[in-house]
Amino acid sequence: MCGIAGLFGKSPVVTEHLGEHLGAMLSKLSDRGPDSAGVAFYRDPAPAGATKVSLFSPDPHYEWGHVRDGLATAFGGDPEPEVRASHAVFVVDADADRAQEWLRERHPELRIMSAGERIEIYKEAGLPTDFVARFALEDIQGSHALGHTRMATESRVTTQHSHPFSTGLDLCLVHNGSLSNHNRLRLELQREGMTFQTDNDTEVAAGYLTWRLREGASLREALEGSLRDLDGFFTFAVGTADGFAVLRDPIACKPAVLAETDDWVAMASEYRAIAVLPGAEHATVWEPAPATLYVWERALV
């Protein structure tokens, strides 16, 4: 069992309090996934030509200033990090490939959680309600966000095993369910040049989407391909720079609820995580059909 939450703001009622609302949703999903929690926020786009990266350090006393100084020397500018608990977000004055290559080479002790124009990922082992407070989610504004609470069934409980998983620039995946062909698929994707940080099944699904997108598929094609190529149970929520998508496997035994008002679109594993949103009692509420892709993007709303 895990919990998923997605929130897409259509008005300042939600976008100005995005972190507060997503935090409330995650807290309601705490008992679906007490092992760890994670979020992806889409906000504050980096200037053209620059890249926003989210970094994780397992060292609680890590000196982020060293990274800042190195980035300033290598790429110029003033990359002052925004630090939240074990994570820091930098805006690097370089394209995503160069920024990530430099970070991997100079700071192998760090993990790159996400990269892109807008995305920020924070995730950590521990109780979701503690995570919400520790990462001060209530301060965060933004256009849309995804969250996850994890009850591990197939691999260890660590920061790296937590969701969301990055699936490329400004893309991420959260998952409720379990995949049964992930070991074979991981081998096949490794042959295609993909690399994996953990033995987690969801990371393979993320890697699959990344690979399909790299090969030229649209997000819709990649997700519809997952219905054929992934064996197992899943409700997926995928974050993009412009919105999010929801997909359930054809058997659809992992829950999902969608709801919409004039101010927001939300998805969650259970309605009680939506009930905390403003005006939820008057929302249109429905259950997404199996094997059917639902997409919200800013351009469409």
Partner 1 sequence: MATRTEPAVEVVDLERTPLRELNHRLHAPADVPERWRVVNPGGRHAIAVGVDAPIEVDVEGHVGYYCAGMNQQATIRVHGNCGVGVAENMMSGSVVVDGNASQSAGATGRGGLLVIRGDASSRCGISMKGADIVVRGSVGHMSAFMAQKGCLLVCGDAGDALGDSIYEARLYVRGQVASLGADCVEKELRDEHAAEVRALLERAGIDDVDASEFRRYGSARELYNFHIDHAGDF
Residues in contact with 124: Cβ distance below 8 Å, sequence separation at least 6, in sequence order: 36, 37, 38, 85, 86, 131, 134, 135, 159, 162
Residues numbered 225 to 254 that lie near partner 1 (CB under 8 A) are: 252-253
The stretch near partner 1 (CB under 8 A) out of 9-17, 149-157, 204-212, 269-277 is: 269-277
The stretch near partner 1 (CB under 8 A) out of 60-68, 111-119, 178-186, 280-288 is: 280-288
Contact between residue 243 and residue 267 where contact means Cβ atoms under 8 Å apart: no
| Residues annotated as catalytic (active site), given as ranges | 2
285 near partner 1, judged by CB under 8 A: yes
290 near partner 1, judged by CB under 8 A: yes
Identify any residues that bridge with 5 across adjacent strands, giving them in sequence order: 147, 268
Number of chain positions touching partner 1 (CB under 8 A): 16
Choose among 162, 160, 155: nearest CA to 127. Answer: 162
Considering beta carbons, is residue 136 or 253 the nearer one to partner 1?
A: 253
Quick one: which of 74, 83, 217, 275 contacts partner 1 (CB under 8 A)?
A: 275
The stretch near partner 1 (CB under 8 A) out of 89-97, 144-152, 168-176, 281-289 is: 281-289
The dihedral sign for the CA sequence 95, 97, 103, 106: negative
How far is the C-alpha of 123 from the C-alpha of 206, rounded, in Å? 16
Give the tokens for residue 284. 């249109």
Quick one: which of 165, 273, 277, 296 contacts partner 1 (CB under 8 A)?
A: 273
Considering beta carbons, is residue 85 or 257 the nearer one to partner 1?
A: 257
271 near partner 1, judged by CB under 8 A: yes
286 near partner 1, judged by CB under 8 A: yes
How far is the C-alpha of 139 from the C-alpha of 269, rounded, in Å? 24
How far are the Cα atoms of 44, 122, 176, 239 from residue 8, in angstroms, in the given order? 15, 18, 19, 10
Residue ranges that bind partner 1, judged by CB under 8 A: 252-253, 255, 257, 270-275, 281, 285-287, 289-290
